[in-house]
Amino acid sequence: MRRIITESSKVKIINNLLVIILATYGLSQKRFDLEEMTLFQRLVIEVVSPVQKGIMASRSEILNVVDNYFMIVNTSKENEFLKNKIERLEHDLFIMEETRRENLRLKQMLSYSEELGSEKILAQVIGWDSANQFKVLRLNRGSKDGITLMSPVITNSGLVGYIYRVGYNYSDVLTILDPNNRVDAIVERTRTHGIVEGVFNYMCSLKYVSRTEPIELGDRLITAGVGGIYPKGVKVGMITNIEQESSGMTLSVEVTPSVDFHKLEEVIILLAKPQVISSNNPTSATDNTKGVK
């Protein structure tokens, strides 16, 4: 029995080997014949191939256009973002520069006013008398800030005027350009006394100066410290023209104010004690406030 099983296994192995040998031989002998295309097939290929080529080229172009479109859109958005960012940065730089300049001006004014020894308040110019060439200015400080009548108003450049009307939040300044604001002044070099009054075209005049006084063009005027309003030594202006009057014993002296009223932004108010202004006082100048804006 055991012998019969062994012989059967040998037969199966021999049969498997024969199948493998025949399969390998058949694969080695198989031929792949080349099929020749017919006239119709060649015609179809000749017609379809250019179309396929065009479709592939169009597809490639469309993909390029789409890619370029999205690239342009993204670039445009990025450029708009960068543009807005640059504008914000430029605005911030502008604000910083304006703040720096304002701080510099205030520092100079505070340094100058310290020499006068008076209590002081900083204020901003928020309005002016457009009809009367800056004869009246309006400030953003009032009685709630301690502002009182007759308080002198100055800058580091020189004398502006005095407070002649006070409200709760605002106050008005009668500048030295107004003829009703008479300033006792002296020529710094010769100590010659005179009265500075506003005339026209943003100019002033120095009155009551004897023609024998040795004043010259370029001489500077300062406050004399008399009259009870302005402290002594504040710059008033500079002599820019001298003429002898046709009659009398005095000179006609033109004075350019030290303060450039066109560029006036901040001022210093030197606090003064409250005073009662009489109705017949020529320095009240209440008729000059109509044009304040």
Average pLDDT, the chain: 77
Q: Considering only 40-44, 88-92, 213-217, 245-249, which range has the smallest mean pLDDT? A: 40-44
CA atoms within 13 A of residue 2's CA, in its CB half-sphere: 0
In 3D, which of 251, 193, 203 has the Cα closest to residue 223?
A: 193
Check pLDDT > 70 for residue 86: yes
Whether residue 208 has pLDDT greater than 80 = yes
Whether residue 134 has pLDDT greater than 50? yes
Question: Any idea which residue has 């002016």 for tokens?
Answer: 128
pLDDT at 284: 42
For the stretch 193-207, pLDDT in tens is 999 999 888 899 999
Contact 187, 219 (CB under 8 A): yes
Integer CA distances (angstroms), 136 to 153, 162, 165, 217, 243, in order: 12, 10, 10, 28, 29
pLDDT digits (tens, 9 = 90+) for 4-36: 446 666 666 776 676 666 656 555 555 545 556
Model pLDDT, residue 75:
78
Helices (H), 114-209: none
Find the mean pLDDT for residues 215-231: 91
Task: Give the pLDDT of residue 8.
Answer: 65
Is pLDDT at 68 greater than 60 in this prediction? yes
Residues 156-161: what's their mean pLDDT? 91
Query: Is residue 211's pLDDT more than 80?
Result: yes
Counting residues of the chain whose pLDDT is more than 70, the rounded percentage is: 63
Return the residue matching tokens 């004014």.
109
Residue where the block lists tokens 């104010």: 257
pLDDT band at 37 (very low <50, low <70, confident <90, very high): low
8 A C-beta contact, residue 165 and residue 277: no
pLDDT at residue 19, rounded to an integer: 61
At 94 the pLDDT is 67
Closest CA to 270 of 125, 135, 141, 133: 141
Count other Cβ atoms within 10 Å, centred on residue 159: 27
Q: According to the model, what pLDDT value does residue 286 have? A: 39
Task: Give the separation between CA 167 and CA 141, rounded to whole angstroms.
Answer: 8
Q: What does the pLDDT average to over 93-107?
A: 69
Residue 112 above 80 pLDDT? no
Could you list the beta-strand ranges (E) of 149-265: 152-154, 159-166, 171-175, 183-187, 193-198, 204-207, 220-223, 235-244, 251-257
Q: What is the mean pLDDT of residues 219-238?
A: 91
195, 208 in Cβ contact below 8 A?
yes
Average pLDDT over residues 230-249: 87
Higher pLDDT, 248 or 1: 248
Q: pTM here?
A: 0.59
- What is the three-class DSSP state of 174? strand
What average pLDDT does range 82-89 have in this prediction?
78
Q: What is the distance between the alpha carbons of residues 73 and 67, in angstroms, rounded to a whole number? A: 10
The residue ranking higher by pLDDT, 223 or 106, is: 223
pLDDT digits (tens, 9 = 90+) for 252-290: 999 999 999 988 888 999 986 544 444 444 444 434 444
